[in-house]
Amino acid sequence: MSAPTSFKGGAAAGRGKVAKVAKAAAVVPVKGKANAEPKNPKDAKELFLKRIQMCSVTYDYSDDAKDAKAKSERLTALQELREFLNDTKNVATYVLPHLDIVLEMIRKNIFRPLPMDKKSADKLGPSETGVEDQDIVIDPAWPHLQGVYEFFFELIVCEVTDVKSIKIYVTPAFVQEFLQLFDSEEPRERDYLKNILHRLYAKLVPRRKMIRKAINDCFLTMIHETQRFNGASELLDILASIISGFAVPLREEHVIFFKNVLIPLHKVQTSHLFHEQLLRCSMLFLSKDHALAIPLVEGLLRYWPFGNSPKETLFLAELNDVIEVCELSKLEPLIPKLFKRLIRCISGPQLQVSDRAMQFFENDYFLGILRTFKQITFPMIVPIIVDLAETHWHKILLESFNALKTILKEIDPVAFDRALQGPRDAVKANSLNAMHNIAKRSGIEAQWEALTKKAKTVDPNFVPPVVPYVEHHVVGLHNMNGTELSSNNLIPPV
């Protein structure tokens, strides 16, 4: 069994009391469940300290046969400690005076190296790439950890446990270590962590800013370094309840958090695993300040998940919700980017993405945007929709395109006809250029060819990399009959 370490999260007096606990442990044996608690206060105190000392010792839980008796006695002691908290008098008389030792015991148990992740440190696992999830890693120590977490939770929610007693132990180092536990692959552990952190935040008003900053740092590490964190959804659940309590108008630090953390979280490769919670937090911010909708739209367009159709449908659904909050006057600069993105999704081969993009036109507010900025939107969208209404391969979507063609014509027949003026091939070519930035892409290709030639002069055996293949651009262009296929169409537009 491993030797106990000193508690670093609170009062230094805990180090001195370890010896007292050991001394008391030698006096009073641990009583079984059937035995009544001692009536003598001194015996009750010594029994409590004995249980704390037993629970402070950790074992090798990977081998069930090793130290089996000691592990069983430890589980019994944990259960008795939880029952001990049912009496508030016990908490006030025995627990709070020895809170340093109690929290040291909790720390020794939960602050540990997490079980080895099955996924490679350098590669994302199936759950992060949209494929079927892997088996959950079960920590063999979980039955013992669960008892400690339940004891910790009951201690925090106990009405006798006051802010003054516990806040000195909730230091930045303690919170940081506590948040790292959210990366556990054990969902039950993350659920306990979420409930405990939520209660700590609610109870310790003086520590709220510190806790928010620690969560902020945790997400920044995920955004800019690791790209994954198992407890992201649980932390966002906590943030949702925190955001709900923000006063209006929002303080500057909260706006900065929204722009620097919540919006960039959309670009994380694993964001689909916590998108529901992220969307809830984002919409709560927008309910507090509608002006934040514009930065969110910009972020969604900037971090668009090219070639990842499941995430594209999530982004489209969120974009549709966010647009309804935007003020038309402030949305105008984003209209070209917004409609280019929608056209790419509509004309792509992925049915779910195309169908989800078409749902924008069922939104009355979006049709109002289309009507208000028709001088910009009609030349971009009308030629594409007209062509898709004639050539698209899917029957249901073909009907949808024809219905949308009728809607566009009803909005403004003059603007509709003007968008189709000129030779049909020229109109389609102009629309294609607008969609895929062909002029800009040609310049990039010229630079790439120059670099390739230079590389071959240095190394005659140099083999240039294959041009990226993006299926939704290639198949989408099957609807543009007669268009020459080149890497301009293969590479995602910039």
pLDDT per position in the chain (494 positions), as tens? Answer: 444 333 334 444 444 444 444 444 443 344 444 345 666 778 888 999 999 999 999 888 877 778 888 889 999 999 999 998 998 999 999 999 999 999 999 999 999 988 765 544 444 544 454 444 455 557 778 888 999 999 999 999 999 999 998 999 999 999 999 999 999 999 999 999 999 999 999 999 999 999 999 999 999 999 999 889 999 999 999 999 999 999 999 999 999 999 999 999 999 999 999 999 999 999 999 999 999 999 999 999 999 998 899 999 999 999 999 999 999 999 999 999 999 999 999 988 888 999 999 999 999 999 999 999 999 999 999 999 998 998 888 888 889 999 999 999 999 999 999 988 865 555 555 555 544 555 666 777 788 888 888 888 988 888 876 544 333 333 333 344 444 434 344 444 43
C-alpha–C-alpha distance, residues 148 and 75, integer Å? 10
DSSP code, position 58: B
Residue with tokens 């062909």: 438
The type of residue at 287 is S
The length of the chain in residues reads 494
C-alpha–C-alpha distance, residues 206 and 139, integer Å? 34
pLDDT at position 437: 53
C-alpha count within 13 angstroms, C-beta hemisphere, residue 208: 15
Q: Which two tokens stand for residue 23?
A: 């001394």
In sequence order, the 6+-apart residues with CB closer than 8 A to the CB of 272 are: 130, 310, 311, 314
In sequence order, the 6+-apart residues with CB closer than 8 A to the CB of 236 are: 274, 277, 278, 280, 281
Tell me which residue of 277, 346, 347, 292 sits closest to 322, measured CA to CA.
292
pLDDT at position 257: 97
- Phi-psi category of residue 337: left, alpha or beta, with phi > 0 → left and psi -120 to 50 → alpha: alpha
Got the DSSP string for 220-267? HHIIIIIS--TTHHHHHHHHHHHHHT--SSPPHHHHHHIIIIITGGGG
Q: Which two tokens stand for residue 322?
A: 């966010």
Cis peptide before 249 (omega within 30 of 0): yes
pLDDT at position 132: 43
- Which pTM was predicted? 0.77
